[in-house]
Amino acid sequence: MTLTVYLFVVGWPLVMATALLIPQARPILWRMMPLAPLPALLLGLLVSQPQFVTGEWFVLGLTMGLDDVSRLFLIFTSVLWIAASSAARHWMREDPRATEFAVMFLLAMSGNVGLILSKDAMAFYGAFALMSFASYGLVVHTRDMAARKAALLYIGFVVVGELILFSGLVLAATQAGSILLADMRAAELSGLAVALLLVGFGIKLGVMPLHFWLPPAHGAAPVPASAVLSGAMIKAGLFGIMSAVPLGVVAYGDHGTVVMAAGMVTVFAALLLGVQQTSAKPVLGFSSVSQMGIIAIGLGAALMTPGAWVAIMPVLVFLAAHHGLAKGALFLGVGAWAAQTGRVGQIVLTLAFAVPALVLAGLPITSGGLGKEAMKAALTLGSEVWLPWLTLALTLSGVATTLLMARAIALIWLNPPKAPASKPEALALPFLGLAGLALALPVVWPLLDATMAAPVLDATTGALWPLALGVAIALTVAITAYAQSVGLAEFIDMLTAPARNLSERLSNVWAAKRRAARRLGAAVPRMIEGYTLQWRLSQTAIAGLIAAVLVIEAASSLRDVRLVTPALRLGLTEQDTGLQIPEVETEIEEREPDAILDEPVE
């Protein structure tokens, strides 16, 4: 493909943003919004082999293209932008600042796609800056106090980060003797250049202590913007490190130690901060910070042990896609839930919301569980000293993510988010689509690149107990908080109420049975007396009963009688006694009673 194709992919959102300035074109452009990232998606799907194109006519030359890593980044990033654009069409329908949002949204999209396709430092930096500064308009969109504070904090980090990143890129290009990212990645850069690049990209990645901008910005931005801020744009930090830092070439032990330590702290410190939030979107923002801690662990291990990069790199790309799809779905799910007007719809959306939440927490067989297990396997090629701690951190990260997801779901109900008037199903469809892709990622990933997917497919399914432990802790905390809110005595009374109700019901049933038995006991004698009087029995019945007994006794006395000798009765034999016992048998002739009486007595 020629350079024109790549420029069209990057420039198409810019053309649409410019056309939005024409009032008559806005209705049709809003309908076309989901088509803006479509050329990028088609390019990623159609280009199967690495390719690079250049344009000498640019100031310092322009190099664009795709390799295995950038192609996968382009595919899942485009999918996220398509889903967010579909939601934005309806989310901004009645917003008076809809045009301003759309312009900034398209500019950020162009920058995000452009940095993935750029293969030289100048084009990469220009696209990175365009994405970062355009996102300021998304964060400050509502113009309320919270949005202004979040935007001010965000733009401060952006300016500092861009200055540091520019310095790192210039220093790296000077040391590599080339502005091509591939040459910088293959050179032995100095520790200072690598440190500048790590800090500049780390601000966008959101790893502690460079994370302060991220949760407020995600909470203040409209839902479609939050989905791409967390799902796509923060991955630009990871992509930049993978594109410009010589991972797998030179060992940077000190840098790796700092990055790994920051990653381990980030995973669990984000949990402590996230559970204190009072609305769902900032909680999801802190969840993104925690997930970027997992990314930092892998980067730190690769910086420390270059030989491990071959195994770590495909796992990091998979984790980036996994987090992008799941977190984008969660942010869109908050908006879809808020748009529901009925209780049934809210319950259904909550159940659907739990799907990407469980995927993100590391449910076995899903992309979360497979990605963490693949990372554990890749880390075995790294430092043996750090390996037990890194493995433990990755395992317990499932507990942290589960608690944050439980907090987000609880806050959706306790502090319902607001949504503009729109069709609920129009916002639910992009959310459900991303949630389905997040769940199906282990199946789809090998179809995109079988070689990159091999480490993930070879990994074990993962353990269930971290997720179960997180659910148990969340339930315990929820029950304890509720008991404190209503009072211990009332809570105990509520717990024992079912047992008391059951006991009371059983007592009532037993009392009813006893009353019925007493009534029956009193009624039976009266019934017998009534039947007796009715049949005129009493003394006559008694006499008849006595006569019947006598007749039965007399009849039994006239049965056959056989006399048996003692020896026979005892069952003795000749062998037992030593005597010859003659057979003796006495028979009594049966006669009729009248014949016996008629015989004469001698």
Range from 82-86, 506-510, 518-522, 536-540 carrying the lowest mean pLDDT: 536-540
Give the Cα separation of 232 and 135 in Å (integer): 12
pLDDT bin (cut points 50, 70, 90) of residue 509 is confident
The per-residue pLDDT for 442 is 94
DSSP labels for 439-495?
Answer: HHHHHHHHHH-HHHHHHHHTS----SHHHHHHHHHHHHHHHHHHHHHH-HHHHHHHH
The per-residue pLDDT for 556 is 61
Residues with Cβ within 8 Å of 394's Cβ and at least 6 positions away in sequence, in order, are 294, 297, 372, 375, 376, 379
Give the Cα separation of 56 and 59 in Å (integer): 8
Give the Cα separation of 502 and 203 in Å (integer): 60
Question: Does pLDDT of 602 surpass 70?
Answer: no
The per-residue pLDDT for 576 is 47
158, containing H or E segment:
helix 145-176
The per-residue pLDDT for 240 is 95
The per-residue pLDDT for 588 is 44
**Radius of gyration of the chain, Cα coordinates, nearest whole angstrom:** 43
Under a CB-based contact definition with an 8 Å cutoff, are residues 258 and 383 in contact?
Answer: no
pLDDT bin (cut points 50, 70, 90) of residue 238 is very high
- Name the DSSP letter for residue 63: E
Under a CB-based contact definition with an 8 Å cutoff, are residues 311 and 440 in contact?
Answer: no
In this structure, which amino acid lies at residue 179?
I
Cα 361 to its chain centre, rounded Å, is 5
Give the Cα separation of 590 and 585 in Å (integer): 15
> pLDDT by residue (tens digit) across 264-309?
999 999 999 999 999 999 999 999 999 999 999 999 999 999 999 9
The per-residue pLDDT for 563 is 45
Helix axes 280-304, 387-414, angle to 10 degrees: 170
Give the Cα separation of 478 and 491 in Å (integer): 13
- Name the DSSP letter for residue 57: T
Q: Which of 438, 417, 273 is nearest to 350 (CA)?
A: 417
Q: What is the dihedral of CA 39, 41, 47, 51, to 10 degrees?
A: 80
The per-residue pLDDT for 98 is 92
Cα 582 to its chain centre, rounded Å, is 99
Q: What is the largest CA-CA distance in the chain?
A: 162
Average pLDDT over the chain, rounded to an integer: 87
pLDDT bin (cut points 50, 70, 90) of residue 513 is confident
Give the Cα separation of 88 and 98 in Å (integer): 9
Q: Which residue has the higher pLDDT, 408 or 598?
A: 408
Cα 422 to Cα 92, 281, 340, 342, distances in angstroms: 9, 20, 9, 14
> pLDDT by residue (tens digit) across 31-57?
999 999 999 999 999 988 888 898 877
Instruction: Report the sign of the C-alpha dihedral through residues 357, 413, 288, 139, in that order.
Output: positive
Question: Does pLDDT of 477 surpass 60?
Answer: yes
Give the Cα separation of 442 and 457 in Å (integer): 8
Cα 256 to Cα 21, 166, 191, 204, 315, distances in angstroms: 47, 22, 11, 18, 18
> pLDDT by residue (tens digit) across 145-178?
999 999 999 999 999 999 999 999 999 999 999 9
Question: Does pLDDT of 586 surpass 50?
Answer: no
Half-sphere exposure of 488 (CA within 13 A, CB side): 0
DSSP labels for 162-201?
Answer: HHHHHHHHHHHHHHHTSSBHHHHHHS---HHHHHHHHHHH
Q: Are strands 51-55 and 62-66 parallel, antiparallel or unpaired?
A: antiparallel
Q: Which residue has the higher pLDDT, 425 or 521?
A: 425
Question: Does pLDDT of 593 surpass 80?
Answer: no
Question: Does pLDDT of 561 surpass 90?
Answer: no
Q: Which residue has the higher pLDDT, 2 or 38?
A: 38
- What is the number of residues in the chain? 602
Question: Does pLDDT of 202 surpass 90?
Answer: yes
The per-residue pLDDT for 535 is 56
Give the Cα separation of 98 and 416 in Å (integer): 23
Instruction: Report the sign of the C-alpha dihedral through residues 101, 102, 106, 107, in that order.
Output: negative
DSSP labels for 408-425?
Answer: HHHHHHHSPPP--S--HH
What is this structure's pTM?
A: 0.82
For the chain, first and last CA: distance in Å?
147
- Backbone φ/ψ region at 599: left (φ over 0), alpha (ψ -120 to 50), beta: beta
Which sequence spans correspond to the domains of the chain?
A: 3-486
Three-class SS of 263-298: HHHHHHHHHHHHCCCCCHHHHHHHHHHHHHHHHHHH
Residues with Cβ within 8 Å of 591's Cβ and at least 6 positions away in sequence, in order, are none
Under a CB-based contact definition with an 8 Å cutoff, are residues 359 and 415 in contact?
Answer: no
